[in-house]
């Protein structure tokens, strides 16, 4: 069974694709023959597909095991502290 930390890790791994493509474009393309470049891009694409498949596997498992059920957390505040919000101009507004 997976948990939210597994899902977070899979999502973060999926972002590696961006770094790999950036590295390829910045450093490797200069001396790489076109055929090798195309093979490398195809490989990165397949890695990304596998990573995204893992994200979906973890997510679907979490849905099936009801790990997103809202009754696990209170939906309303349980204390009597005033609610404070920013007015977007550097000031704050307070609501009870």
Q: Is the pTM of this model over 0.85?
A: no
pLDDT tens, residue by residue, 1-53: 899 999 999 999 998 998 888 888 887 777 888 888 889 899 999 999 999 99
Contact criterion met (CB below 8 Å) for 51 and 17 = yes
Confidence at residue 69, expressed as pLDDT on a 0 to 100 scale: 73
Three-state SS annotation for the chain: CCCHHHHHHHHHHHCHHHHHHHHHHHHHHHHCCHHHHHHHHHHHHHHHHHHHHHHHHHHHHHHHCCCCCHHHCCCCCCCCCCEEEECCCCCEEEEC
Extract the tokens encoding 4.
């939210």
Domain extent listing, the chain: 1-67
């Amino acid at each position: 069974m997976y948990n939210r930390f597994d899902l977070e890790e899979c999502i973060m791994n999926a972002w590696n694709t961006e770094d790999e493509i950036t590295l390829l474009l910045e450093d490797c393309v200069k001396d790489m023959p076109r055929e090798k470049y195309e093979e490398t891009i195809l490989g990165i694409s397949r890695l990304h597909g596998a990573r995204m498949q893992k994200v979906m596997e973890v997510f679907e498992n979490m849905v099936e095991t009801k790990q997103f059920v809202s009754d696990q957390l209170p939906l309303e505040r349980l204390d009597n502290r005033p609610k404070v919000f920013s007015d977007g101009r550097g000031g704050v507004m307070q609501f009870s």
